[in-house]
A and B are shown apart, each in its own frame.
Chain A
């Protein structure tokens, strides 16, 4: 029998590569597992109840899809409005706008339900080959706060494999296979399906208790549906009223109708299946675009990219880019003004059951003071 020393001497390369494989595997596993830690969100004075999404679909309990749901209630009867952020976790203005509501807003009539990280699993990974940041930092007067930058789809560790063709139910519309992990192609979801469908089912249950659902998104500047709201036909009056009020404040905002044959999206299915008024807002995020340079914090938070300035000059973008860029605080401010005016429009059209929200950070204040001024101090470890 060969002595162990001779065996390892004869297989030096195999031994070396095995140790290297072990080292790389452990090091990368630590990085991937660290991405499962969720950013702290501090309940503000208006939060009257906090629960997990599994309260609306118990099969989500202790699963990677379970996510916090914040309720900002009041003693006075009124309608409920739901705000959803983080449907697509790399569209961070949606998450941040929802967080600013949770940490600042109060409700004096009716109820506001806020789901800041709708696809919680999507926050635990990034897009392969895209060299994305894992997190961003925002400075507040009391210290830095960090927020996760995730990926559009559910983490494949939690839902895998993708089918070749994803058939949306109940419409039977066929889509590319990976859309099975896209929360905004799964609505109205399924109580016992794959993880993403079960998250969607729970959100649809919340939508059924709501008069209106507003889903916050971002898109690349070369995509035509940016700086725009997309509304279900049952929401046209509310959305058009809100749009005119936003435009009157000299904030450009488009409005599009939800296509009736494009299924699985919140603005289509919450209207069709939950019978809630439903709409979606998009802001222009250069960190998501194909023309972008290095995906640095300056791009993700600062929204600046010289390639997009050039692309604008060549007429290749649907939002104008100059040296000021499209910083995160501007995109969050746009979402907040859209929420404010949609609630105002809803109240104007439904005076019998309004939702009165106070202390929401205003567009002007967020532009002038930045996001840090409206974030609570970081919680102590």
Chain B
């Protein structure tokens, strides 16, 4: 894979990690249980994509 393609893939994984971290923050900062639950749901696929598992 060329450096450009690797960079794009790395950048997108970083974005996925960013979203996962934001969801973790929402989970701990929000007091509304619905918002916490949605953050829990969104966190899982994004952390798996950031880790290169799914």
Contact = CB atoms under 8 A, between A and B. Distances in A.
Contacts, number: 60
Interface residues on A, range: 20 to 34
A195 B1 CA distance: 7
Interface stretch (A19-27, A200-208, A252-260, A330-338): A19-27
Contact of A17 (B2, B12, B27, B54): B27
Given A29-B53, A33-B53, A193-B5, A17 B36 contact: yes
B22 interface: no
B25 to A, nearest CB: 10
A223 interface: no
A125 interface: yes
Contact of A192 (B1, B37, B49, B53): B1
B44 A21 contact: yes
A28 B44 CA distance: 9
A160 interface: yes
Interface string A1-25: 0000000000101100110110011
A59 B6 CA distance: 13
A159 B5 CA distance: 9
B14 interface: no
B2 A193 contact: yes
**Main secondary structure on chain B at its contact with chain A?**
helix
Contacts of A21: 27, 40, 43-44, 47
Contacts of B43: 21, 25
Interface string A157-196: 1011100000000000000000000000000000011110
Interface of B: 1-2, 5, 8-9, 12, 24, 27-28, 30, 33, 36-37, 39-40, 43-44, 47-49, 51-54
Interface of A: 11, 13-14, 17-18, 20-21, 24-25, 28-29, 32-33, 59, 125, 157, 159-161, 192-195, 198
18 contacts: A14-B30, A14-B36, A17-B40, A18-B24, A18-B27, A21-B44, A21-B47, A24-B44, A25-B43, A25-B44, A28-B44, A29-B53, A32-B48, A32-B54, A161-B8, A193-B2, A195-B1, A198-B1
